[in-house]
Structure 1
Amino acid sequence: MKFSCEKALLQNAILTASRAVSPKSTIPALEGLLLEAEDSGTVFLTGYNQETGIRSAIQADVTEAGSMVLSARLFGEIVRKMPDDTLLFQEEALKVHIACGMSEFDLMGIDPEDFPELPTVEYQNSLSIPEQTLRAMIGQTLFAVSDDESRPVHTGSLFVVDEEGLTMVAVDGFRLALRREPVAEKNGTFEFVVPGASLSEVEKICRETDELVGIHQGARHILFKIGSTILISRRLEGEFLAWRQAIPRNNPIKVTANTKQLLACIDRVSLIVSEKLKSPLRCVIGEGEIDMTTKTALGNAHDCCPVEGNGNGLEIGFNNKYMMDALKAAPKDQVTLELSSPITPCIIVPAEGEENFLFMVLPVRLKADF
Structure 2
Amino acid sequence: MWRWRGVLFDANGPQLRLAGTDLELAGEATIDAKIDEKGSVVLPGRVLGEIARSLPEGAVRIESSGGQAKLTCGAAEFTLRALALEDFPNLAAPEGAPSGTLDASVFAAAVGQVTRAASHDEARPVLTETLVDATGDKITLVSTDSYRLAVREIPWAGPSTGIKRVIPARALSEAARASDGDGQIEITLGESQASFAVAGRRLTTRLIEGEFPNWGQLIPAELPNQLRLERESFAEAVRRVGILAQSGAPVRIDLGADGAKLGAGSQDLGEATEQVDGKFEGEPLTVAFNPAYLLDGINAVEGTEVTLSTRDGLKPAVLRAPEDASGFLYLVMPVRV
User: Do Structure 1 and Structure 2 share a fold, with TM-score over 0.5?
Assistant: yes
Question: Does residue 225 in structure 1 map to residue 197 in structure 2?
Answer: yes
Q: Distance in 1 between matches of 2:96 and 2:306?
A: 39
**Aligned mate of 1:90, from 63, 70, 73:** 63
1:96, 1:106 within 8 Å by CA — same for their partners in 2?
A: yes
Letter in 1 for 2:226: K
Letter in 2 for 1:108: R
Q: Distance in 2 between matches of 1:159 and 1:265?
A: 34
2:137, 2:157 within 8 Å by CA — same for their partners in 1?
A: no
2:150, 2:329 within 8 Å by CA — same for their partners in 1?
A: yes
DSSP 3-state at the match of 1:312 = coil
Question: Does residue 242 in structure 1 map to residue 227 in structure 2?
Answer: no
Cα distance per residue 1:202-253 (max 9 Å; x no partner): 12212324x1000001120001002111000011321101111111131222
Q: Distance in 2 between matches of 1:269 and 1:103?
A: 51
The residue that corresponds to 2:3 in the other structure is 21
Letter in 2 for 1:313: P
TM-score by length of 2: 0.93
Structure 1 gap ranges (5+): 1-18, 23-30
Cα distance per residue 1:139-175 (max 9 Å; x no partner): 1111100112232111011111125611111100100
Cα distance per residue 1:313-358 (max 9 Å; x no partner): 2122111111110000101222222211211000112212425211
Structure 2 gap ranges (5+): none
Q: State how 1:85-164 maps to structure 2 within 5 Å.
A: 85-162=58-135
**Aligned mate of 1:37, from 11, 15, 18:** 11
Q: Distance in 2 between matches of 1:81 and 1:359?
A: 40
DSSP 3-state at the match of 2:91 = coil
The residue that corresponds to 1:286 in the other structure is 256
1:162, 1:188 within 8 Å by CA — same for their partners in 2?
A: yes
**Aligned mate of 2:294, from 316, 323, 328:** 323
Letter in 2 for 1:202: A
DSSP 3-state at the match of 1:105 = strand
2:136, 2:160 within 8 Å by CA — same for their partners in 1?
A: no
Choose 241-250 or 183-192, whichever is displaced more. 183-192
Give the CA deviation at 1:129. Answer: 1.3
Q: Distance in 1 between matches of 2:74 and 2:227?
A: 64
Q: State how 1:304-315 maps to structure 2 within 5 Å.
A: 304-315=275-286
Letter in 2 for 1:329: A
The percentage of aligned residue pairs carrying the same residue is 29
Letter in 1 for 2:203: L
Letter in 1 for 2:271: N
Give the CA deviation at 1:186. Answer: 4.4
1:51, 1:233 within 8 Å by CA — same for their partners in 2?
A: yes
DSSP 3-state at the match of 1:113 = helix
Q: Distance in 2 between matches of 1:200 and 1:77?
A: 22
The residue that corresponds to 1:207 in the other structure is 180
Structure 2 CA distance for partners of 1:187 and 1:92, relative to 1, 3 Å? farther
Q: Distance in 1 between matches of 2:292 and 2:3?
A: 32
DSSP 3-state at the match of 1:254 = strand
Q: State how 1:49-60 maps to structure 2 within 5 Å.
A: 49-60=22-33
Cα distance per residue 1:269-320 (max 9 Å; x no partner): 112223xx43211122112322221122211011112221234221221111
Give the CA deviation at 1:82. Answer: 4.1
Structure 2 CA distance for partners of 1:299 and 1:35, relative to 1, 3 Å? same
Q: Distance in 1 between matches of 2:116 and 2:51?
A: 35
Letter in 1 for 2:163: F
Q: State how 1:250-289 maps to structure 2 within 5 Å.
A: 250-274=222-246, 277-289=247-259
Give the CA deviation at 1:119. Answer: 4.4
Choose 54-63 or 103-112, whichever is displaced more. 103-112
Letter in 2 for 1:328: N
2:3, 2:46 within 8 Å by CA — same for their partners in 1?
A: no
Q: Distance in 2 between matches of 1:308 and 1:239?
A: 40
Choose 322-331 or 288-297, whichever is displaced more. 288-297
Choose 137-146 or 112-121, whichever is displaced more. 112-121
Q: Distance in 2 between matches of 1:231 and 1:251?
A: 40
CA RMSD of aligned residues (A): 1.9
